[in-house]
Amino acid sequence: MKCINYLIFGKVQGVWFRAETQKIANELGIKGWVKNLEDGRVEVLAQGTDKQLQQFREWLNHGPPKAEVEKIEAYESECLTDFEEFKITF
């Protein structure tokens, strides 16, 4: 398992980004979390296989229909915990 931390820039708050991210993560079997940041970005920590994370990144590139993703920064990070689910955090 690998962990990737994503920062998503653009119109990504108020467009159901977190809920749809959770739905897609659950469909792909990815664990971790998603949250809004005060500066308007969305942050995601995703834990999964290379294949799962590749499919997840492809979805994150555009997000839900009303989102306007401008840029994504992704950083591989150490998996400090083995997540049991994918949740929305605050």
| Options 5, 18, 41, 61, the catalytic residue | 18
Cross-strand bridge partners of residue 74: 6
| Options 36, 41, 57, 61, the catalytic residue | 36
- For the record, the structure tokens of 19 come out as 């809920």
Per the annotation, the verdict on 61 as an active-site residue is no
Per the annotation, the verdict on 5 as an active-site residue is no
Q: Are 72 and 21 in contact (CB under 8 A)?
A: no
Name every residue whose Cβ is closer than 8 Å to that of residue 9 and which is 6 or more positions away in sequence.
Answer: 40, 41, 69, 70, 71, 72, 73
Residues known to be catalytic: 18, 36
